[in-house]
Structure 1
Amino acid sequence: MRIQKFVALFAAPALIVSAPAHATGVIAGATFPEQIVQEVTLVEQYATQAQQLETQIQQLANQVVNMQTIPVQLWPNISSQLQGLVTLVGNAKGLSYASANTVSAVQAQFGQPSGVLSNYNASLQTWTSNLDGQIAGVLQQFGLNASNFQSTQSALAAIQAQSQSASGRKAVLQAGNQIAGLMVNQMQDLQSDIQVGNQAMLNYVAMQAHTRVDQSNSVTPILAAPTGPGAF
């Protein structure tokens, strides 16, 4: 499902006017349709970025697989890729939270439809929990404390701390290599969830907006009785 299909659904001015956006942090001041489409665009970008990072980190890991220590000249590139991975994980989780907030905001304004949106919200929460659990498992596998990687800032600090020793550099590279691989699969799952869920939201918002317009147009105006010459 491509983004062009989403754009066509919110072209009508009535939808733009009638649906103010919730503050999810993706687009400040956006309407609901704009917000919903932007979330789809972002998840596509993050999925592509995950694939690129997996390739780059795998290439670096292959270069040092048989080395006892990582050459100093390789570390800046490795560190840069790991920082990109940390940022991607943070951005992806932020998008999952933002998408869940959009679902809640749509439900708050337009009411609760069928179980589709509730199931979508639950799916986003499950995705985030699964991602956290898988990353923690990988970190522990390589002797890294998962509690040191719970935020973007702390993860970057932990990578810097590990870089001070040869064993630490090897550990974070190996962990990063596995996490990059699982992020490809995780981003594919999130992309699928957001595309399907946001299409359902767009359909629901459009239906509710058109219903309100139809109800507004159905009101029959009351005309004043004619007066003056020629009145009857």
Structure 2
Amino acid sequence: MAPRWRRLLAEGIGSAMLFATVIGSGIMAERLAGGNLAVALLGNTVATGAMLFVLVAMFGPVSGAHFNPAVSVVAAARNDLGWGDAGLYAVVQLGCGIVGVWIAHAMFGEPILQISTHARTGIGQWTGEAVATFGLVLTILGTVRHRPEWVPAGVALYIVAAYWFTSSTSFANPAITVARSLSNSFAGIRPADVVPFVLAQFAGAGFGALAGGLLFGPHPSDMRSA
């Protein structure tokens, strides 16, 4: 396992790059799509999936490339990561992810500090978030256990698909949900809608971990080096 400082640095840089991609591609897509939301979502999807592939391939051997507190909690619950490290991962993921959001705003000449007014609420969207996070965790556990070389592609392809088959467009990440509340852009979410999303995500992650244990066995999946 890499030293803690190196793992935290990987999680921080990766989270900043991922969150900047989600927000930046959303701004670019909205500007270029001419009001066509399907085209805007497609642009946002492709950029996010491509960046996920690169980041997981690059940082997976260093930190596990979680970039997601729900994934870090699952790793800790499976004894692949210490609980203290999981807490540090989550702090770095959120803090550096917010910096990534601000960088995206700066790149596109937007106000750095924003609050989203984009409503995302209701049982349908909460269910979508639970399903999205369930599938993400299951994808990670399955590929890490049986085809570790497929983890980057599996995660990226799953998120690309989940953008389109879930009603919530698959945030599937508590840190990015909070960070997106700080961007009044295509990818934003109202602060008032954040808590139900995060609860749904952790519930989905828990069920994903349970299903992964039943399907792929109880042994640690070594998510430290996903």
What is the TM-score with the length of structure 1 in the denominator? 0.33
Larger Rg belongs to: 1
What is the TM-score with the length of structure 2 in the denominator? 0.33
